[in-house]
């Protein structure tokens, strides 16, 4: 039995092995690993592609979130509204700057922050809303921005899983004061390690970000603020530049595979991804839902089919946030999603035979 990986990074690398090596060699020869032409080129390529005034490369998607909070001066006694069902970094970076993450529940269909729950979470201490575009689909940004404008709040888009996704014709990362992205290897546009970038149209904040990522230093060794070390290295930039021209093709492949699955799963007691009519998802994950999630995963594992749970424990129930006093039942949709969802292989290199094998295994389970 041949297994089907949840994500085939080796297969992707094989497609571009020679291009990647050709791009990396000049960096190795130059021995300029921090900054340099490759980093400047990837920033300009991203800036142009997304039609933003500034794209600032940083060391990871997590650092992108952290730097934006620092650039806004968010810290002790401040609050930032975040969804409870998301990757840890969303709330972890808020905690790291000394602020309090204030959780809200999700829309059970899209798994994104429920925009109707945001306003009731606003207090006199709220400084920002961190909207996550989970699994490749944008959150309801118009509704979130209306609440933000009414209360004078900044909106940070956690678009780590949504590079290239759109909402009402607008690109992820262009609808808030900042857009934060990741080049983690599993993303649709992944490097060979950690990396990320931030988009913004605000020149003063862009300048502040470039200083913050260099330990708060400008000029070198002169520190006006305390920053962090978060520079995208030149090797990662060179690799991302090779992959960037293929990104839209990969999005299309994932959408094609998603459509294949969704059609093939029709009639099963299995919820498939719901995509709003005004959104275009990039399917960073293809997440299905069933109360029999754990049994389904065991069945797929026996068949050699990769699958993953994103995420088994909602953030408000994580041990490290126990001091916030949230108990089970506080955010029922987040808690249910954590128990009932699993992701299937969706990467664009999947063959029709592999897709059919996944479908057959799922249908066999429910039969």
Q: Is 2 inside a domain boundary?
A: no
226 and 270 belong to one structural domain: no
pLDDT in tens, 285-310: 999 999 999 999 999 999 999 999 99
130 and 261 belong to one structural domain: no
251 in Cβ contact with 282 (< 8 Å): yes
With a pLDDT cut of 70, the percent of the chain lying above it is: 100
Domain boundary among 194, 213, 244: 244
pLDDT in tens, 206-243: 999 999 999 999 999 999 999 999 999 999 999 999 99
Q: Is 29 inside a domain boundary?
A: yes
Q: Work out the pLDDT band at 1, boundaries 50, 70, 90.
A: low
pTM for the model = 0.97
How many domains does the chain contain in total?
2
> Is pLDDT of 28 > 80?
yes
Domain that holds residue 338: 246-366
Domain of residue 262, CATH code: 3.90.1150.10
Please state the rounded mean pLDDT for residues 182-203. 97
CA 75, 97, 94, 320: dihedral to nearest 10 degrees?
-120
12 in Cβ contact with 345 (< 8 Å): no
pLDDT in tens, 113-135: 999 999 999 999 999 999 999 99
Kindly list the distances between the CA atom of residue 169 and the CA atoms of 109, 138, 279, 285, in Å, as whole numbers in the listed order: 21, 11, 8, 21
Please state the rounded mean pLDDT for residues 242-261. 98
d(Cα 170, Cα 168) in Å, to the nearest integer? 6
Domain boundary among 215, 244, 273: 244
User: Closest Cα to residue 126, out of 180, 77, 90, 62?
Assistant: 77
Distance of CA 137 to the CA centre of its chain: 10
155 in Cβ contact with 200 (< 8 Å): no
Q: Work out the pLDDT band at 2, boundaries 50, 70, 90.
A: confident
197 and 314 belong to one structural domain: no
Domain boundary among 222, 244, 266: 244
Q: Is 1 inside a domain boundary?
A: no
d(Cα 304, Cα 215) in Å, to the nearest integer? 46
Q: Work out the pLDDT band at 101, boundaries 50, 70, 90.
A: very high
């Amino acid at each position: 039995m041949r297994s089907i990986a949840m994500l085939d990074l080796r297969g992707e690398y094989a497609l571009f092995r020679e291009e990647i090596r050709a791009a990396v060699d000049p960096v190795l020869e130059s021995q300029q690993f921090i900054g340099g032409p490759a980093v400047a080129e990837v920033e300009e390529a991203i800036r142009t592609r997304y039609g933003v005034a500034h794209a600032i490369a940083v060391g990871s998607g997590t650092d992108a979130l952290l730097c934006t909070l620092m650039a806004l001066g968010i810290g002790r006694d401040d609050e930032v509204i975040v969804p409870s069902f998301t990757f840890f970094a969303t709330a972890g970076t808020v905690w790291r700057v000394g602020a309090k993450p204030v959780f809200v529940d999700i829309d059970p269909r899209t798994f994104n922050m429920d925009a109707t729950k945001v306003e009731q979470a606003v207090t006199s201490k709220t400084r920002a809303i961190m909207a996550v575009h989970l699994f490749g689909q944008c959150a309801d940004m118009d509704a979130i921005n209306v609440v933000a404008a009414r209360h004078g709040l900044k909106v940070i888009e956690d678009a780590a899983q949504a590079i290239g996704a759109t909402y009402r014709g607008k690109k992820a990362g262009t609808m808030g004061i900042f857009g934060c992205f990741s080049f983690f290897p599993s993303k649709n546009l992944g490097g060979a390690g950690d990396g990320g970038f931030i988009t913004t149209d605000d020149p003063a904040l862009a300048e502040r970000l470039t200083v913050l990522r260099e330990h708060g230093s400008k000029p070198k060794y002169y520190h006006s603020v305390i920053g962090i070390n978060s520079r995208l290295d030149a090797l990662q930039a060179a690799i991302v530049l090779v992959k960037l021209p293929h990104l839209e093709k990969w999005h299309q492949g994932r959408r094609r595979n998603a459509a294949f699955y969704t059609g093939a799963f029709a009639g099963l007691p299995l919820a498939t991804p719901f995509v709003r009519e005004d959104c275009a998802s990039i399917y960073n994950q293809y997440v299905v839902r069933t109360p029999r999630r754990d049994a389904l995963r065991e069945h797929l594992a026996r068949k050699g089919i990769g699958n993953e749970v994103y995420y088994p424990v909602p953030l408000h129930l994580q041990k490290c946030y126990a001091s916030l006093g949230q108990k089970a039942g506080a955010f029922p949709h987040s808690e249910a999603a954590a128990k009932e969802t699993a992701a299937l292989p969706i990467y664009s290199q999947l063959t029709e035979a592999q897709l059919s094998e996944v479908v057959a295994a799922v249908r066999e389970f429910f039969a």
